[in-house]
A = this chain, B = another copy of it.
Amino acid sequence: MSSPSERLKALGLTLPAVTKPVGAYVPALRHNDTLLLSGQIPLQDGKIAYTGKAGGPGGRTLEDAQAAARTCVLNALAVAAEAAGGIDRLTRVLKVVVYVASNPGFTDQHKVANGGSELLADLFGEAGKHVRAAVGVAELPLNATVEVDVMFAAGQSEPRP
């Protein structure tokens, strides 16, 4: 079995730089063996890569929204890796909540969420299988298409073998 960092490289991906929060909060914190993260929006190089609501005339396509969810998860991985001392120290993906800014009639939030869930499965294998909720919200900060809230388990000291 390869490690998450090896699989990340094999997928041609690199973790983005972690953006400093704008406000009185932090990107991540550890509580016992749980790593809690702030909600991630699809920032790329300091700009929102996906704005606007999913579905409907003039809205984002399902494929765009899935790419947005994947971008959010990459940002979450970057934040978690920085907090844990490397992506290979994340011992399990626990929970993912996917908020999709949704136009009326768009009811494929679960398919949007798969864009993020599949990346986690690709990187972590069995340890990437998480519980999940996906909902369609009215608006998101900075007009983001998707916001993703991820919770990891992270051991106190040992990296994954």
Residues of A within 8 A of B (CB): 21-29, 31-34, 36-39, 92, 94-97, 99, 101-102, 104-111, 113-114, 117-118, 120-121, 128-144, 147, 149, 153
Say how far A17's CB is from chain B's closest CB, in angstroms. 19
Say how far A122's CB is from chain B's closest CB, in angstroms. 8
* 14 A-B residue pairings within 8 Å (CB atoms): A24-B117, A24-B118, A25-B117, A25-B129, A26-B131, A27-B131, A38-B131, A38-B133, A97-B149, A105-B139, A107-B139, A109-B141, A110-B142, A135-B141
Q: How far is the CA of A95 from the CA of B133 in the complex (A)?
A: 14
Task: Count copies of this chain in the complex.
Answer: 3
Say how far A51's CB is from chain B's closest CB, in angstroms. 9
Say how far A26's CB is from chain B's closest CB, in angstroms. 5
Residue among A33, A107, A108, A110 with max Cβ neighbours from chain B (10 Å): A110
Report whether A102 and B139 are in contact in the complex, using a CB–CB cutoff of 8 Å: yes
| Residue of B whose beta carbon sits closest to that of A108 | B141
